[in-house]
Structure 1
Amino acid sequence: MTKGKKRLRDCLGGKLRTQLENVAGNAEATWQEFQQGDNKQGHEHCEAVERNLDLLISDDKKETGLNETEIFVLLAACLLHDIGKVESSNRSGWKSEHGHRAMEIINENYDTLGLDRVHAAAVFGKLGTHDELSLVADMLKDKDEDVRLAATVILAKLATDVDAEGLLDLVAEKSQGWDEIAQSHYQALCLLDQKFYCPITPQEQT
């Protein structure tokens, strides 16, 4: 595998580069230096994770395989992945609960972190697990159509077989009607139904 030499940040230009720098500055000032753990968990750790991504992703992939929005979301997730370790004084919490707490912090503070609502939803898709399904499901009620669209995709991505029955019932109940919110729930229901009951095989995709 050819190691990447170009920084992911250098693939961003204009507004997204400025926004990422804002996220980086806000994360460092408000969360990163207070992250706790067995090893260094602050700003230096996040920088190290970003350097590893720079190496792992080939320059060709950076230039042609990822668009600027995808790179922005990936780097924002890198900057924010451990912020859930700030408030826990319990060692086990650093290891088992910090991911869920990070999602809650992003959901509650996305604007002060420098994210808009759509990008915050996309970061959920990078960092979240099925433990965050309730937070993502709430996004289906967001007034912003782009947020609702992101939530439908993320919901299908994070849901597991264990979640299937309860989640389908929840989304189906909210999908009754013709208003925009109901239609977003219906779109999510279709994706979940396809994932659990009518998956598309690789042969069908081609």
Structure 2
Amino acid sequence: MSLLHHPAFQSLVLPLVLALVTSLLLRQLGLRWAVLGAALGLVLAMATWPGFDWPAVSRAQVLPWVALCSTLLAALAIALKAPGTRAMARRNGLITAVLLTFIGLGLAAWGALGGSLLLAQLAMMLATACGVAVLWAWRAAAVSPVSLLPLLLTGIGLALCLAWLPAGGAGTSGGNAGEDPYYAPQWK
């Protein structure tokens, strides 16, 4: 088994490293851009795994596209200094980023217990990227609502995918009853 294909590496280490590196690189552009690095790190992690499939035939394949499009729109809003790009107060930004992290962890638990390991891994990627946003909110107090919007929209997309999962694997075509309709691990 390759380390790069291990679910823990894909869910925790890869998004953490990519989000930290992109945040540090975007920090050179200013504090407003640093928190957007967490969303960009999530997009890069999703580009690595599970990847951008077009046409997206399943709901889970739409999630990387949601993350990419919302991150690009947030970057455009920050570049144009649109409303909502000013930093929130340190306490408000920190609370918002922590809540997003807990939402990501809750979605991961819901995915793992609800029957989709792919969605659980994607939710852990989201929670890890939100953890980097917490770090920037605590350290630099530069969190703006627009910079957290891609993380929130990706979380909403994950919640919708989890809500639309068939109960107990019923209604899936092919495979054993109770199998994850999305997940086909490469590390087996």
Same fold (TM over 0.5): no
Of the two, which has the highest radius of gyration? 1
Q: Report the TM-score, using the length of structure 1 for normalisation.
A: 0.28
Structure with more contact order per residue of length (Cα contacts < 8 Å, sep ≥ 6)? 2
